[in-house]
Amino acid sequence: MPATPSQDATTEHFGPSRRFCVAPMMDWTTTHYRYLARLLSRHALLYTEMVTTGALIHGDTARFLRHNPEEYPLALQLGGSNPEELAHCATLAEQFGFNEVNLNVGCPSDRVQNNMIGACLMEHPDRVAEGVSAMIAATRLPVTVKHRIGINGHESWEDLCEFIDKVSAAGCRTFIVHARIAVLEGLSPKENRDIPPLKYDWVYDLKARYPHLEIIINGGIKTFDECHRHLQHTDGVMLGREAYHNPWLLAAVDTEFFGQPSPVDTRHNALRRVLPFIQEELDRGVYLSHITRHLMGLFHGQPGGRQFRRYISENAHRPGSGIEVIEAAMARVPEPETTAPIPA
């Protein structure tokens, strides 16, 4: 089991700082991505992929909850709706050293709908409140909810406020709001990330209506300028795809949002610092290609970046591939002669 996180990983305000967060993303925010992300930013709050309560209770619990203490501050996102199961999994989150446990009320896929998980729970605020109440009773960790502003058929401002009213009455103090509705029939999960229009003003209005709650805004955010505009109206921002496809963005987060120096100076040096961890994973029997797929965006937009990605794509899957593949790929990207300021 991982070590318990240090005290400085948390604040008095509802647990870890959520001023800047990286969203939970299935198949993307694995421990291999998170290790790199944490090297780039000491303060961004990271989230796991969604893990269902059923997988934790009936599957390989240790495998699903495996992470490195270096990843803290780190939140576990759960998918589920049964209060007893959620409470049990919240206890596991605390036992395994996570800094927060988050309930997914935003995923629109058919698979989770059939199990009463994700965005379909927006239609059942009482059930969400029961689950949140059970989780809060079971753990000392902060319990948070990530949700949409509605779903088709339940997409009014009144519906949204009813959801917030009931879940906050159950004890939840932090709401991470994806500023789109989810369309549960006719749109794929991918389309649900783009097609329903963003309504940032609804999230701003939530903060104005509920000033005592912590409101984090999510959805379509790509630049620091956008982040700062949102922070004029909300308590924090959460980035998803941009933070994954362009992870070097995170290297400026500590300076931009926390007034602290960046922990890294160049992309090359950041990748060199990941190599010992990658070797440990290889020694455990993890395939190189399962790790390197999360590194592909590190040289995004840089001369030689395409060659870096191509070399890894062509060689990481070969039997016996190891660290030398990454080193050879990195050699295809010109290294800066001097350390330049990290761009925002």
List 79's β-bridge partners, or say none: 52
The one-letter code for the residue type at 221 is I
Output the CA torsion sign for 211, 108, 44, 228: negative
- Give start and end residues of each alpha helix (H) in 144-260: 157-169, 189-192, 200-209, 224-231, 241-245, 253-258
Distances (CA, A) of 305 to 94, 248, 325: 40, 13, 15
Which position among 21, 89, 107, 120 bears the catalytic label? Answer: 107
User: Does residue 321 sit in helix, strand or coil?
Assistant: coil
First to last CA, the chain: 36
Nearest to 172, CA basis, from 117, 121, 131:
131
Q: What are phi and psi of 261, to 5 degrees?
A: -65, 150
The one-letter code for the residue type at 178 is H
Peptide bond before residue 73 is cis, with ω within 30 degrees of 0 = yes
Farthest CA pair distance, the chain? 59
Cβ neighbours around 256 below 10 Å, total: 18
Tokens 């300028």 correspond to what residue? 225
120 annotated active-site: no
- Beta-carbon contacts of residue 104 (< 8 Å; ≥ 6 apart): 24, 50, 77, 78, 79, 112, 117, 118, 146
- Rounded to whole angstroms, how far apart are CA atoms 169 and 146? 16
Cβ neighbours around 42 below 10 Å, total: 17
Catalytic (active-site) positions:
107
